[in-house]
């Protein structure tokens, strides 16, 4: 008989559970566009060419660049750059949001004290009763007590909201890391531009000196009636063009220095840099690794993944708002109309306990709209994550080809410069022996200068392409003293 009762009770509990589940499930409306799908994270097996060794993204930027002047500039920027410091403050704001969200699912306890006057109208039941008992119409009221409230997080709505805030905090950390990668790459690119401009300035000055010597020679030949004044004027015009170009490069150097100083968070000043020619700087070797490693190394991809996790939890929290909510309230204290008897227990003591369940039934448009919006934001996060992965792969693929093509271009332009330098010597000798026209000398000198300038610019683009590829792989945000800490927090 007892076993039969137990079985009957179990069946009743199971039936009640199924009925409650069906009832709660029916409370949630169907999403108009359906639930958000899972992101597509499949990437190609490689970048189009074989890769040896670990990806260069794991290399600390200090070791990657090696130039002491460049490392000092980046260190200064990582301390003083305003954009980076703004990102740090955003991280602190997000951490405070996590604290606030976590406080919502914990019980609240407070202390309340009060004093006041209360006059009851005589023509009321309370007034008549007080008059019969000899109480004055103007009553004092004193109270001291504790009050507590707690929303029991049955459906994990509050915990999901807190976890979503935590993922957004982690996303702001990755946003800061992404800012670091951009800052490191931009300073390195500007630094190589500055070194290249120094070389271009030296080239122009050398050509000015050679042109001045050539002009003196032409003037002597004009005095000897070997050439006309037209040749002298053409040589003077070309010299003036070279001199004008020197001032243009000087202005570009000032602008490049100011841009570096701005990134470093300081006022305009001289930027210390290497005296080595940009043509003698070998670009650092870059190892590609596997495309799948981009998901771990690229801060923007990591941020997009964390934002997706937060959006998924937002949907769960919005869904839980359709379910009943259980709230507990309690109070304990003392209250009296006479301050002298306020602490005279037990007559002045009071307490209350209340438990309530509330579920939305009618006019649920507000929470329905929030549920739909949360689902749409999750779909946005899915697409943003997929876009970040695609952008990362495209950036690396573009960087690989840019490094390869600029390297080949540097090799060819180096040969071009050597050939034109020899042409300048030959044309000068022929002109001095009256076997070539002065126009050939001018054209050859101009072409030689342009080729030298193009070689320097191409070399700068090669170095900048290496920096860009390093950033595209996800390098630049790891520091030796912070790698373990960042990895631990991310996990």
> Are residue 120 and residue 172 in the same domain, yes or no?
no
Query: Is 18 a domain residue?
Result: no
- How many domains does the chain divide into? 2
Note the Cα 418 to chain centre separation in Å.
Answer: 45
pLDDT for the residue numbered 139: 82
> First CA to last CA across the chain, in angstroms?
55
Q: State which residues form the domain around 341.
A: 110-152+328-358
Query: Is 246 a domain residue?
Result: yes
Query: Is 174 a domain residue?
Result: yes
> Are residue 347 and residue 207 in the same domain, yes or no?
no
CATH label of the domain that carries residue 332: 2.20.200.10
Count of other CB atoms within 10 angstroms of residue 64: 20
Mean pLDDT by 10 residues, the chain (491 residues): 55 48 62 90 85 84 94 96 95 93 89 88 82 80 91 91 96 96 97 97 93 87 85 90 95 97 96 94 92 94 97 95 90 86 82 87 87 95 97 95 95 94 86 76 87 96 96 87 41 34
CATH label of the domain that carries residue 274: 1.20.1600.10
pLDDT for the residue numbered 187: 97
Query: Is 16 a domain residue?
Result: no
Cα–Cα distance, 432 to 224 (Å, whole number)? 12
pLDDT for the residue numbered 480: 53
Q: Which of 52, 88, 99, 180 is nearest to 483 (CA)?
A: 180
> Are residue 241 and residue 125 in the same domain, yes or no?
no
> Are residue 251 and residue 238 in the same domain, yes or no?
yes
Cα–Cα distance, 396 to 161 (Å, whole number)? 36
Query: Is 67 a domain residue?
Result: yes
Cα–Cα distance, 489 to 491 (Å, whole number)? 5
For residue 487, give Cα distances in angstroms to 55, 238, 355. Answer: 17, 60, 44
> Are residue 319 and residue 345 in the same domain, yes or no?
no
Q: Which of 474, 486, 462, 477 is nearest to 62 (CA)?
A: 477
Query: Is 6 a domain residue?
Result: no
> Are residue 176 and residue 290 in the same domain, yes or no?
yes
Count of other CB atoms within 10 angstroms of residue 437: 14
> Are residue 267 and residue 140 in the same domain, yes or no?
no
> Are residue 344 and residue 230 in the same domain, yes or no?
no
Q: Which of 192, 190, 204 is nearest to 452 (CA)?
A: 204
pTM of the model: 0.84
> Are residue 115 and residue 258 in the same domain, yes or no?
no
> Are residue 387 and residue 288 in the same domain, yes or no?
yes
pLDDT for the residue numbered 14: 47
> Are residue 101 and residue 233 in the same domain, yes or no?
yes
Query: Is 184 a domain residue?
Result: yes
> Are residue 391 and residue 484 in the same domain, yes or no?
yes
pLDDT for the residue numbered 427: 85
Cα–Cα distance, 1 to 115 (Å, whole number)? 62
pLDDT for the residue numbered 220: 87
Query: Is 38 a domain residue?
Result: yes
pLDDT for the residue numbered 440: 82
Could you tell me if 183 and 446 are in contact, meaning their C-beta atoms sit under 8 angstroms apart? no
């Amino acid at each position: 008989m007892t076993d039969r009762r137990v079985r009957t009770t179990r069946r009743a509990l199971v039936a009640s559970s199924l009925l409650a589940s069906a009832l709660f499930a029916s409370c949630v409306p169907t999403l108009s566009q359906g639930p958000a799908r899972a992101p597509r994270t499949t990437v190609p097996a490689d970048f189009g060419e074989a890769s040896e060794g670990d990806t260069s993204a794991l290399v600390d930027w200090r070791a990657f660049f090696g130039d002491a002047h460049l490392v000092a500039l980046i260190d200064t920027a990582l301390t003083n750059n305003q954009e980076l410091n703004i990102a740090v403050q955003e991280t602190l704001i997000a951490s405070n949001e996590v604290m606030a969200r976590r406080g919502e699912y914990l019980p609240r306890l407070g202390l309340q004290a009060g004093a006041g006057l209360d006059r009851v109208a005589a023509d009321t039941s309370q007034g008549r009763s007080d008059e019969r008992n000899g109480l004055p119409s103007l009553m004092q009221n004193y109270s001291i007590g504790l009050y507590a409230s707690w929303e029991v997080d049955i459906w994990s709505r509050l915990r999901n909201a807190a976890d979503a805030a935590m993922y957004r905090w982690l996303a702001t950390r990755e946003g800061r890391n992404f800012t670091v990668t951009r800052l490191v790459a931009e300073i390195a690119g500007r630094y190589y531009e500055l070194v290249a401009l120094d070389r271009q300035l030296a080239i122009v000055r050398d050509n000015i000196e050679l042109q001045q010597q050539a002009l003196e020679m032409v003037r002597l030949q004009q005095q000897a009636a070997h050439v006309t004044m037209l040749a002298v004027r053409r040589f003077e015009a070309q010299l003036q063009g070279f001199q004008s170009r020197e001032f243009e490069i000087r202005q570009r150097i000032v602008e490049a220095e100011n841009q570096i100083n701005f990134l470093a968070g300081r006022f305009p000043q001289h930027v210390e840099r290497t005296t080595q020619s940009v043509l003698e700087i070998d670009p650092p070797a870059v190892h590609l690794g596997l495309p799948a490693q981009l998901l771990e190394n690229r801060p923007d991809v990591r941020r997009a993944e964390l934002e997706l996790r937060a959006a998924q939890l937002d949907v769960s929290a919005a869904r839980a708002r359709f379910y009943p909510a259980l709230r507990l309230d309690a109070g304990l204290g003392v209250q009296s109309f006479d301050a002298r008897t306020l602490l005279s227990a037990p007559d002045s003591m009071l307490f209350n306990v209340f438990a309530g369940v509330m579920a939305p039934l009618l006019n649920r448009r507000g929470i329905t709209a929030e549920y739909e919006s949360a689902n749409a934001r999750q779909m946005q996060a899915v697409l943003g994550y997929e876009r970040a992965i695609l952008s990362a792969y495209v950036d690396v693929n573009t960087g690989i080809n840019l490094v390869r093509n600029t390297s080949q271009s540097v090799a060819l332009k180096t040969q071009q410069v050597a050939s034109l330098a020899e042409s300048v010597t030959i044309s000068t000798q022929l002109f001095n022996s009256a076997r070539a026209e002065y126009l050939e000398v001018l054209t050859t000198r101009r072409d030689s200068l342009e080729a030298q300038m193009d070689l320097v610019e191409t070399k700068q683009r090669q170095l900048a392409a290496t920096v860009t590829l390093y950033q595209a792989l996800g390098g630049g945000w790891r520091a030796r003293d912070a790698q373990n800490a960042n990895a631990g927090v991310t996990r």
